Amino acid sequence: MKISNEIVEKHGLKIDEYENIKKLLNRQPNLLELGIFSAMWNEHCSYKSSRIHLKKLPSKGKQVIQGPGENAGVIDIGDNDAIVFKIESHNHPSYIEPYQGAATGVGGILRDVFTMGARPIALLNSIHFGSPDHPKTKSLLNGVVSGIGGYGNCIGIPTVAGETKFNETYNENILVNAMAVGHANKDKIFYSKAKGLNKSVVYVGSKTGRDGIHGASMASAEFDENSEEKKPTVQVGDPFTEKLLMEACLELMKDNSIISIQDMGAAGLTSSSVEMASKGGLGIELELDKVPCREENMTPYEMMLSESQERMLIILEDGKEHNAKKIFDKWDLDFVVIGKTTNTNNLTLKFKNKIEGVIPIEALASKAPIYDRKWIKKKPQKKEINLKDLKKIKIEDALIKILSSPNHSNKSWITNQYDQSVMCDTALKSGSDAAIIRIHNKDKAIAVSVDSSANYCKSHPLTGGKQIVCENWRNLVAVGAKPLAITNCLNFGNPENKEIMGEFAECLIGIKEACEFLNYPVVSGNVSFYNGTNKKSIYPTPVIGGVGLIKKLVSPLSHNFKKTKSKLILIGKTFGHLGRSCYLKENYSIDEGMPPEVNLLNEKNNGECLLKLIDDNLILSSHDVSNGGLITSISEMSLGSHIGAKILKPKKLTNSIEYFFGEDQARYIVEIDAENVSKVEKILKIHNIYFENIGHTQNEYLEIDNELKINIKDLFKINNEWYNNY
């Protein structure tokens, strides 16, 4: 079959890339080989537009066992315990087919974790939808939430934290980012690097179907008006089979049978075999007529590009096949030796005793294109908002507007669809700054959180990149956890656009600076480009998933007020920054100005001092101050506890709106027993931490002297109204 330019472009390849393929092969590829190049050279698999930037991120530290480059990152939490975690996107599939797109996103990220030898202990998500008024939003929201809950609940892994946001920028391209966290013995981590010659290459799990073909390529292209036609490229998930696969793999991992193991995720059998071979410097030969298929007359092309779910590729030690098969037979899963490792450094594909394709492994992996795309630096938005130019609004009315908005309303309608307690180790559920998961049968725990900051990143990507790392850091600190490492999911538009590539490059500079300063390395992640429809891109949306350690968990520290008559202290200085704030967005529909400045030294010092206060048992509750400012954060502490607060008017900052709604960074609100105030103040002064005594807790009312007085019951009703009526 002659390969035309039209066929090349349908495979998501540029004509110059095709010419490069012909040079690497020294011939024209056949259709099967072209499909394999298409799968391995797309953005989703090759990171061809992002790799040079990703390499600059800090990924090492004394706590890091495995950084980027494997199925998931691994960190050491002491006592021979390791935490394995990663976040990935499933954006395009979830827009086309919300339930299955979201469900298979969860399934895929779980496989990345248990492939490393870890038992998954928690799921998180970051989901972004268009305007609530958009005709598709409600059905997309319902489908995605049902898919996340359906898969996680069925497989029996708690979904413990996440975020749900709305913005018109996602009207035609929603974001569904799924994160999984697992616990493993640090001496029993499994990797994907192939070793040894003539070793059995084994296919395990579900049978292969025609679902998901070209899924990775579809995820590496913008949508257009025909996006609905791409439903056949969306995978179909089966959580019950995944549960069986997980248990079978974990059982096999107890002995010394496995040389390497790889999830069949994006690009399926193609990517799993190529990645294993490339890391090991070996070749792999596959006999495709041995691949278990659930549909008749499947071709080698379809088998290699299928993204059917719940499948793994394993390379076994000699003589271990029989015992391994017994395990998979017990769990009623396919176990078939479909190939072997070779010294050819080629991917060799046979079908019915005929060679259908031969491709050098390095041509698919190390020689995949790497682009240093041109980018333009974002010009700062110098225009500042003058409150005097805006219609005056009362603090109470402004607060009600924020708390009743879709982005700040109570989201229990969503979280109640997720089983958060299965496995019985969830110590603190969603709703606080971070969730807390006990390490089973031990005193210690981990804290986990996911966060994004598209609005700040759109205005000034470098500052936005720094800010979102710091917010994630604060969320872990606020529950008493020492932040250890992050995973990131970088959602952007078309990298071929200089402005969008500039947003990406500058965001990564900001992430790099913050991670380096805070000793908060990036150990895994994912890049999702081409998020847009008809040349209209989403806001730049980097999502950060963080993991922290609580060495000894006595009682989980939440953001909810604990009692009345306790004292409230604000850690960190307030300048009253309102640029890109929720106050302006929700009350005036203004999205302008620069994001708040990020002072990394203050972030580090304030966070570390708060951790000391928590370790000394001096803090009753704690909450970071972020979107919506001081009064919004205090309201959240009241809403979770039904305990009110009386807040003092500021002495120095004369404008109450700026003080109570400004989104200055590096700040925490802490609740303290009255008898411990002097101890807390002394420690804060010793560490040169700026703080203010801002009031105390009380019954019934949230109150600011002469500015605000609202019953907590009324506030609760306001906060629940939007979702109840949507």
DSSP 465-516: HHHHHHHHHHHHHHTT-EEEEEEEEEE-S-TTSHHHHHHHHHHHHHHHHHHH
> For 631, left (φ over 0), alpha (ψ -120 to 50), or beta?
alpha
Please state the φ and ψ torsions of residue 263, each to the nearest 5 degrees: -70, 140
440 is catalytic: no
In angstroms, the CA 147 to CA 680 distance is 46
Which spans in 161-238 are helix H? 215-218
> For 702, left (φ over 0), alpha (ψ -120 to 50), or beta?
beta
- Between 498-518 and 600-615, two packed helices, what is the crossing angle to 10 degrees? 40
Q: Which of 11, 44, 53, 559 is catalytic?
A: 44
- The CA–CA distances, whole Å, from 660 to 572, 588, 627, 701, 725 equal 14, 17, 11, 17, 28
Under a CB-based contact definition with an 8 Å cutoff, are residues 616 and 698 in contact? no
- The CA–CA distances, whole Å, from 723 to 146, 401, 430, 717 equal 16, 14, 17, 11
Identify the CA nearest to 583 among candidates 570, 598, 596.
596
696 is catalytic: no
Identify the CA nearest to 663 among candidates 576, 602, 605.
576
SS (H, E, C) 668-721: EEEEECHHHHHHHHHHHHHCCCCEEEEEEEECCEEEECCCEEEEHHHHHHHHHH
Q: Which of 53, 90, 214, 623 is catalytic?
A: 90
Cα 610 versus chain centre, distance: 26
In angstroms, the CA 339 to CA 573 distance is 63
Please state the φ and ψ torsions of residue 650, each to the nearest 5 degrees: -65, 145
Under a CB-based contact definition with an 8 Å cutoff, are residues 479 and 432 in contact? yes
> For 297, left (φ over 0), alpha (ψ -120 to 50), or beta?
left
Catalytic residues: 44, 90
